[in-house]
Amino acid sequence: MMRQMLVGMIFVSAALACVLWLTQSLRFVEMIVNKGLSIGAFLKLTILLMPGFLVVIIPISLFAVVLFTYNRLIADRELIVLRAAGLSHLSLARPAIILGLAVSAVGYLLSCWIIPHTVRSFHEMQWTIRNDIGNVLLQEGMFNKFGEGLTIYVRSRTPNGELTGLLVHDKRHPQRAVTLMAERGALVYTEQGPRVLMINGNRQEVTPGTGKLSLLYFDNYTVDFNTATGNKPDRFRDARERSTLELLSMDDSMENKGELRRFKSELHSRLASPLYNLGFPLLAAAVLLTSGFDRRGQTVQVMVSAALMVAVQALALGASNLSSGNLAFVPLIYLNATLPIAFGLWVLARPPWPRRRTAPSLGAA
């Protein structure tokens, strides 16, 4: 049974992960078209998202596989034979419990170490692609935006890398917006960063206050990208990018109390979420193993267990959102994660309810 559950969980998780990967990868098509993102970088970006998907997918996959396995045992009458052999509900649920404990250990490895690392790598790579001209090619026939306030248009690019038909609009200083046009140019790399060299063009600027157009012709001119991209302040890392040790060491004297609450909420959610790998299979096993045999099938029991799982998942999201606004709701995160475990173990371990018998009538006596 445990082998069947493990194989089924792997296949279901892989199928769901592929579906999510396809849907999420569509977000990066714009980077391929507009930013010149390579296929290798595209694959790396999407693969970095996978651990974050798995921590949500695996508990649901395990729940579905446990539900399917025990439902098939009931339908094939195999569960009746196992009960006749003297196995209790808790003994029948042991494969699901052991597998849930093993997957919970994997869940802690994902949520506490792997996911923060991959999320940080993903955001850093995305930040670099969007803001570093050194990693993004100037696209032909398009208005390429870099940072805030710098737009470059390139009509065409020659095989040797020369740019023709250049138009640059620079409004990094809002009070002194400048427009430059040149016949040709090139993208050059210096120790101070990437620059665009423009040859045979003009520089247009509207003089502040007077509104008059100032026109300057030049033989060569360089546009520096550092003030648009390279000298930006360090990117702020959100809660999911911080390591678990970093979240544990957060000081309550942090100035931004909103960010502090989000960091604390992320820490507690990270510690509680792997418990669903044990709670969801226990819910499925508890409902099906204690339901009894019905010739019409176990449709009602399957729907009840699925409804309980969805309710627990919804409460988990609600508790996480509430704790982000008020740390007084943090205990709800742990309560919601441990309640399915406690409920499942109690239902499986308790003795069966006594069945009510009707007294024989006087006529029958």
Element (H, E) at 221: strand 213-224
In terms of domains, do 214 and 268 share one?
Answer: no
In terms of domains, do 49 and 20 share one?
Answer: yes
Instruction: Locate 283 and state its tokens.
Output: 């819910």
In terms of domains, do 176 and 245 share one?
Answer: no
- Residue 228 pLDDT exceeds 50: no
Measured CA to CA, the distance from residue 275 to residue 279 in angstroms comes to 6
Residue 244 is assigned to a structural domain of this protein:
yes
In terms of domains, do 167 and 310 share one?
Answer: no
Measured CA to CA, the distance from residue 329 to residue 322 in angstroms comes to 6
In terms of domains, do 338 and 262 share one?
Answer: yes
Amino acid at 140: E
Residue 136 is assigned to a structural domain of this protein:
no
Q: In this structure, is the dihedral angle defined by the CA atoms of residues 279, 277, 45 and 262, taken in order, positive or negative? A: positive
- Three-state DSSP class for residue 152: strand
Partners of residue 267 on adjacent β-strands: none
The domain boundary, picked from 224, 248, 267, lies at 224
Distance of CA 284 to the CA centre of its chain: 26
Residue 257 is assigned to a structural domain of this protein:
yes
**Contact between 1 and 91 (Cβ < 8 Å):** no
- Three-state DSSP class for residue 214: strand
Residue 327 is assigned to a structural domain of this protein:
yes
- Residue 110 pLDDT exceeds 80: yes
Q: In this structure, is the dihedral angle defined by the CA atoms of residues 28, 34, 39 and 45, taken in order, positive or negative? A: negative
Amino acid at 130: R
128-132, 153-157, 191-195 — which one is most confidently predicted on average? 153-157
Residue 229 is assigned to a structural domain of this protein:
no
In terms of domains, do 273 and 344 share one?
Answer: yes
Measured CA to CA, the distance from residue 228 to residue 170 in angstroms comes to 9
In terms of domains, do 217 and 330 share one?
Answer: no
In terms of domains, do 126 and 6 share one?
Answer: yes
Q: What is the pLDDT of residue 62?
A: 94
In terms of domains, do 165 and 204 share one?
Answer: yes
Measured CA to CA, the distance from residue 103 to residue 97 in angstroms comes to 10
Write the DSSP symbol of residue 204. Answer: E
Nearest to 182 by CA among 222, 136, 139: 222
- Residue 254 pLDDT exceeds 80: no
Q: If you average pLDDT over residues 107-113, what whole number do you get?
A: 92
In terms of domains, do 125 and 266 share one?
Answer: yes
In terms of domains, do 21 and 87 share one?
Answer: yes
- Three-state DSSP class for residue 255: coil
Torsion of CA 36, 39, 44, 48, to 10 degrees: 80
Write the DSSP symbol of residue 360. Answer: P
Segments forming the whole domain that contains residue 193: 142-224
Q: What is the pLDDT of residue 234?
A: 58
Q: How many domains does the chain have?
A: 2
Residue 250 is assigned to a structural domain of this protein:
yes
Mean residue pLDDT of the chain comes to 82
Residue pLDDT, tens place only, 132-177:
554 455 677 888 777 677 888 888 888 777 888 999 888 877 778 8
Q: What is the pLDDT of residue 137?
A: 57
- Three-state DSSP class for residue 62: helix
In terms of domains, do 248 and 119 share one?
Answer: yes
Greater confidence (31 vs 76) lies with 76
Measured in degrees and rounded to the nearest 5, phi and psi for residue 363 equal -65, -40
